Structure 1
Amino acid sequence: MEFAIFGLLLVGIILLILSFRKNRENSVETQLENFTIQLMKEIYQIKKKLKVLEDEMMINDKN
């Protein structure tokens, strides 16, 4: 009987540790996703600004 209780306690502790580890992996995945989205937004803004500058250069070259 003592062996069964000890075994169940050990399994419970292992599952508890694994659940914290999985949460940490999800956190890293979420942070990476947010970083990627932010990076894509910044690249989009830079491309828009570059397009405006190119248009201004074309206007100035024609004059």
Structure 2
Amino acid sequence: MIDVAAATWAVLFRDGARWVVRQGGPARLWDEITERPARWRADGRPSADRMRLHGGPGGQNLTWV
């Protein structure tokens, strides 16, 4: 994954029997990706019909109500 605008990147690869993540730049892309499902579970696993995608000049934001 690369976010050129943010100068941030992450790569996931297999090293023998384990998975390894390397990331760089000001944002931690992989950390952000893995945080989302954890937050979803902590919030009671809301169904897709409760999710809302908001888009605007500042970017996208997925929330649930």
What is the TM-score when the length of structure 2 is the normalising length? Answer: 0.28
Larger radius of gyration between Structure 1 and Structure 2: 1
Q: Greater share of strand residues, 1 or 2?
A: 2
Q: Greater share of helix residues, 1 or 2?
A: 1
Instruction: Compare relative contact order (CA 8 Å, sep 6+) and give the higher one, 1 or 2.
Output: 2
